[in-house]
Amino acid sequence: MDEYSRFRYLEAFEEHSTYSSAVFIEHMLKFFKFKVECVQTDNGAEFTNRFTTEKDKPTLFEKELSAHGIKHKLIKPYTPRHNGKVERSHIPDEAS
């Protein structure tokens, strides 16, 4: 979700992995009609190795961001309220 315009892109994947997160970034960049400068995520292993034994090794997701010149901002651990807009974003029910 774009912080300024609230423009959003949603996509569902079967798995939480750095690969699917990198694919999401590729699709999102094609969808957004403006330059993305920064992406904020939580500290999940699908985004960063920050809390793994390979903490200095960038994930595929981080490499994808870097390839596009996009800054990766991580929220403070255990503060999901910092991702509140995204956490509340959902795909509407077909019945709605």
Interacting residues of 64 by C-beta distance below 8 A, sequence separation 6+: 21, 22, 25, 26
Q: Output the pLDDT for position 5.
A: 80
Question: What's residue 36's pLDDT?
Answer: 94
Per-run averaged pLDDT (10 residues), the chain, 96 residues: 80 93 96 92 92 91 97 82 54 52
pLDDT number for residue 96: 44
